[in-house]
Structure 1
Amino acid sequence: MKKIYIAIISLGILFFGSSCSENIMDELNKNVNNPENMSSRLMLTDLITTSAFTVTGSDLAFYASVYIEHNVGIFNQLYNAEIRSNEPTSSTTYNNSWGAVYRNLRDLKTVIEKCSEGGEEEGNYHNLGIAQILSAYNLAILTDLMGDVPWSEALQPGIIFTPTLDSQESIYADIFKFLDDGIANLSKETTFPLLGTQDFIYGGNAASIAKWIKFGHGLKARYTMRLSHKSPDYAGVISSANQSFANSSEEAKFLYNGTSSKSPFHQFYTDRNYFGASQSLHEKLTERNDPRDAVYFKPNTGQSEIEFAPNGTPTQVQGRYGLSGLTGITAPTFLMSYHELEFLKAEAYARQGAATLPQAREALKKAITAAFAKSNVGLSAEDAEEYFDDSVSGRLTTPEATLAEIMVQKYIALYEEEAIEAYNDYRRLRAMGNNFVQLKNPLNTNRFPLRFTYGSSDVTTNENIRNAYGDGSYVYTESVWWAGGSR
């Protein structure tokens, strides 16, 4: 019966094909589920989602949380990362995320072309600006973690098959240009409609454009601080930050409903269960009598007490070590939080010396208060004030001591969803000689991952990337450019 059915279908197509025009055949050959042309608004909906879920809340964050000791890898790939076996140097480790970032950048390029002069949506300045902000965001994650990457010759399939690597320094120039152009375009008038509910970050209402502009300024503050080892501009950090979020309601975060959408860390725990509660993070909290210690961790299922996993030397086992208390099904993914912004201001003020310490203290207090109020932390402003007065204020005695406490507090506050930023901060601080955050993995002496590897899909097909990758051991010896390296 199956053979007869196939034969009938084949004959039908043969007969139909003999009596129809090429135009009809062209229509038949189209995949209606994968249209060749799509409006920028529909593309941006997908790009907002993928930027949050498949880039920020991806393997990049999971591995960063292990390297930065927010979590301990206790099983399989994450255990290998914890004990520095294979995973940190393998080109397959981050390949999915590597591809996801480049797909985002390619599709964002398409949106930018559509909405720019000569494009079919010319004058759609708001969608153009959003695409430019998201391009800066995705490109920064890529180069912050991988260093020099293909960029100026990339995103040209069928034209350039083996793009060369661009320097991180030149890529950062493009990141700032994306942000400046995006802010400028978002500030223009347009006759095109707002994204509406297709804007999964800001809701697409009349106030959303102002928030996207603030997000752009916040990213400028972040990336200006990122370059502080190379070209410090603390006044610039403060200026950009002051044009950004005024409170937590304006921060750039992706929310999940717990049914059709679920937090990536929760999904990763459900699918893999590869994390244990970090001993070193716990110690930093207890040293300060921090009330978040009771929130950040919980016993494993079936256990009555929390057993903390020793950093670098855990037993490879599931169901034993404590778990993250923040890994909720609706925990948001932060593209940029209000508390991060206030920490940036606090650091910038502290680095300017004794005269601006009062402003540093004020920003630090705002940052801690906002971090306490995160939806999956749930501590009150009164809790934050008591903690600041009893455990933090007394540590702010000099500019250096204030700076150190700011960075430790930021490290604590960025657990868990903001692990990538904590990882970036740690590498920048090390380059600047500021060893404020003490990690406990004994393997860090000579095997702290200074960067992530390139994806295997390009290591195997692009000789430029293959030569830069070598055997992968460079991740332990070569910092990225903004952290004092050469590439």
Structure 2
Amino acid sequence: MKKYKGILFLVMASLSLISCSEDRMDEINKNVNNPTNMATRFAITDAMTKTAFSNTGSELAFYTGVYVELSAGGFGQMYSAETRNGEPQSATTYNNSWNSQYSTMYNLKIIIDKCTIGEEKGNYTTLGIAQILYAYNLALLTDMYGDVPFSEAFQPGVIYTPKLDHQEDLYKTIFATLEDAIVNLEKTSSYPALGTQDLIYGGNNAKWIKAANGLLARYTLRLSFKSPDYDKVLTYVSKSFASRNEEFKMVNSGIPNPFYQLDNARGYLFSSKSLFEKLNARPNDPRVTGYFEKIKKTSGAPLTYEFYENGVSPQSQNYSYSALLDASNPIYMLSYHELLFIKAEAEARKSASVTSTVSLVAAVTAAFNKAQSINFSTTDVASYVAGLNITTNEDLLKEIAVQKYFSFYDDESVEAYNDYRRLLAMYGSATAHPIQLANPLNVSKFPLRLTYGNSDVSANKNVKEAFGDGTYVYKENVWWAGGTR
């Protein structure tokens, strides 16, 4: 009898589970480690991390650094990029970055909506920060890919194949969003300060406002081929960083520098002979050796520099690599030295009579003292710049471009890529460009943009049509560089 009582108990227990309410079952099935709704103060931290590590500092930076020859792709995927073997025109190449950028923007849009019309309406600080990150990610997206889905995007289950928005319109949104962010960050909020949840500025609104102004300066200069406004650039610069302590960057012991991570895990990037030769052409540039690490080619051999000849050297891991690699290096989204180069260029372009190197000296000084594992603070920058023999406005503009390019080594290569393409439009040809690239494949295969991600090429007819066979990356400039899309 006891045996049957036990069976009856189990049956009754099973029936009680079956009759459990839907609400109770939803509660049981809830994954507490992946909440669908959370306070914006926690969500904004994740958005900052993804913006810096996943979107800015990783794959996009690795690939673009190879294209503009700050680094050389000596092995694996980077060798394929170096030799233009499928990588630049394949829809799968940047798919991880493409997906990460869109997911970051989707999450930021949720934060923005919560802080404007949702349950955290009036949370102006988080709103302003989210708007800056949103504008930054949108700029990163369209700078890399040109026209992209935006106005009809971020509506899962509603619009499955969003149209592509024109880059010119996207830039209008970028500027408006940054201006709105500044207004919101200047308001008084009843919500508590973010404090340590803000991994970039620790809840300092004034620094976020400076970052927004710096981005406005960058993006205004970005449009200088289409609609130059150097006075506006200088106005934004005057409201931005006063030192490298205010830079828009991620420095966190729990978030290692992606270039260090790639080298440590795979060893795909090596020292570019093209970069070395440009540095070596300038008298007494300390970076000619300070940027690169010597290696031993064979056991017992002396340490020596082994530079990868861009587009030519064979695949190998037996080349010199960056001497700046360190897990604690910043992930830059906008550096102080970049801001000063923006200022120097805007001043020089504003008037053809400008030949003064004062602003260039300030920018190079900041570049020599960037927060990396090696700096060149003992170098007399004024003497170095004087030795460059700059006598005309044209000389000055070209040297600003080259020195800015040097300053981006090795992990600000996305901006080096953007700058190279902008100047390609402004100077009219690769032969007239201040930065002469060495890869012989660039004659017909310099990537003028990146391909759309495979997730949308395969699922969105609008993106698929724009992608074609992928060879458009070698033929079509983005809009701000003179293209149509």
Contact 1:256 1:329 in 2 (8 A): no
For residues 198-277 of structure 1, what are the structure 2 equivalents within 5 Å? 198-204=197-203, 208-257=204-253, 260-277=254-271
Q: Could you say which residue in structure 2 is the equivalent of 1:6?
A: none
Match for 2:393 among 381, 394, 399? 399
Aligned match of 1:80: 80
- Structure number with bigger Rg: 2
* Cα distance in 1 for residues equivalent to 2:470 and 2:434: 28
Residue 167 of structure 1 deviates from its aligned partner by 0.4
Partners of 1:380 and 1:93 in 2: how far apart? 36
Shift, 1:71, TM fit? 0.6
Q: What's 2:120 paired with?
A: 121
* Match among 300, 315, 323 for residue 295 of structure 2: 300
Displacement of 1:31 in angstroms is: 1.5
Q: CA deviation at 1:140?
A: 0.4
CA contact under 8 A between 2:295 and 2:320: conserved in structure 1?
yes
1-side partners of 2:321 and 2:57: how far apart? 18
8 Å CA contact 1:450, 1:475 repeated in 2: yes
Q: What is the aligned partner in structure 1 of residue 58 from structure 2?
A: 58
Higher mean Cα deviation, 212-221 or 30-39?
Answer: 30-39
2-structure distance, mates of 1:30, 1:14: 21
Give me the whole-angstrom Cα distance separating, in 1, the residues matched to 2:104 and 2:195: 21
Amino acid at match of 2:470: G
Q: Once the two structures are superposed, what CA deviation does each residue of 1:410-467 show, in whole Å capped at 9, x if it has no partner?
A: 0000111110000000000010116111111111111100000000011111111011
Separation in 2, partners of 1:299, 1:203:
39
- Which residue of structure 1 lines up, in the alignment, with residue 6 of structure 2? none
Give the whole-Å Cα distance in 2 for the aligned partners of 1:301 and 1:180: 53
Q: RMSD of aligned C-alpha atoms?
A: 1.6
Count of residues in Structure 1 that have an aligned counterpart in Structure 2: 467
SS at the partner of 1:182? Answer: helix
Shift in Å at residue 354 of structure 1?
Answer: 4.3
User: Per-residue deviation at 1:396?
Assistant: 2.2
The structure-2 alpha-carbon separation of the partners of 1:123 and 1:83, relative to structure 1 and needing over 3 Å to count, comes to same
Q: Which amino acid is the alignment partner of residue 291 of structure 2?
A: Y
Aligned AA (1:375): A
Q: Structure 1 residues 193 and 322 mapped into 2: Cα distance closer, same or farther (>3 Å)?
A: same
Change (3 A) 1:46 1:392: farther
Shift of residue 378, structure 1, vs aligned partner: 3.6
1:377 Cα offset (Å) = 5.1
Task: State the distance in 2 between where 1:381 and 1:367 align.
Answer: 13
AA at the equivalent of 1:362: V
CA contact (8 A) 2:53 2:255 kept: no
Give 1:390 shift: 3.3
Shift of 1:393: 5.4
Distance 1:21 1:408, change over 3 A: same
290-299 or 342-351, which moves further after superposition?
A: 290-299
Post-superposition shift, 1:173? 0.5
Q: What SS does the aligned partner of 1:351 have?
A: helix
Q: For residue 290 of structure 2, what is the amino acid of its counterpart?
A: V
Q: Equivalents in 2 of 1:256, 1:299: separation in Å?
A: 29
Counterparts in 2 of 1:393 and 1:328: CA distance versus 1, 3 Å: same
Distance (Å, rounded) in 1 between the aligned partners of 2:386 and 2:326:
28
Q: Is the 8 A contact 1:105 1:135 kept in 2?
A: yes
Ranges in structure 1 where 5+ consecutive residues have no aligned partner:
1-9
- Residues 125, 189 of structure 1: 8 Å contact kept: yes
CA distance in 1, matches of 2:314, 2:13: 61
Corresponding residue for residue 3 of structure 1: none
**Structure 1 residue aligned with 2:94:** 94
C-alpha contact 1:349 1:357 (8 A) present in aligned 2: no
Question: Aligned-pair distance for 1:353?
Answer: 2.1
Residues 381-411 of structure 1: per-residue CA shift (max 9 Å, x gap): 441xx24323445432111110000000000
Shift of residue 12, structure 1, vs aligned partner: 9.3
Task: Quickly say closer, same or farther: Cα 1:243–1:372, change in 2 above 3 A.
Answer: same
Task: Give, in whole Å, the separation in 2 of the partners of 1:436 and 1:11.
Answer: 81
1:218-277 deviations in whole A, cap 9, x for unaligned? Answer: 0000000000000000111111011000111001111132xx431100111112111111
Pick aligned residue for 1:431 from 418, 425, 448: 425
- Note the residue ranges of structure 2 that are not aligned, 5 or more in a row: 1-9
User: Which of 319, 337, 340 lines up with 1:339 in the alignment?
Assistant: 337
Deviates more, 1:70-79 or 1:347-356: 347-356
Report if aligned partners of 1:73, 1:275 keep a CA contact under 8 Å in 2.
Answer: yes
- With over 3 angstroms needed to count, the CA separation of the structure-2 counterparts of 1:390 and 1:37, relative to structure 1, is closer
Q: Return the letter of the residue paired with 1:214.
A: K
Identical columns (%): 52
CA deviation after TM superposition for structure 1 residue 356, in Å: 4.1
CA 1:146–1:12 in 2, change beyond 3 Å: closer, same or farther? farther
Please report how far the alpha carbon of residue 300 of structure 1 lies from its aligned counterpart in structure 2 after TM superposition: 3.4
Q: Is the 8 A contact 1:61 1:418 kept in 2?
A: yes
Structure 1 residues 365 and 11, CA, compared in 2 at 3 Å: closer, same or farther?
Answer: farther
Aligned mates of 1:22, 1:298 — CA distance in 2: 63
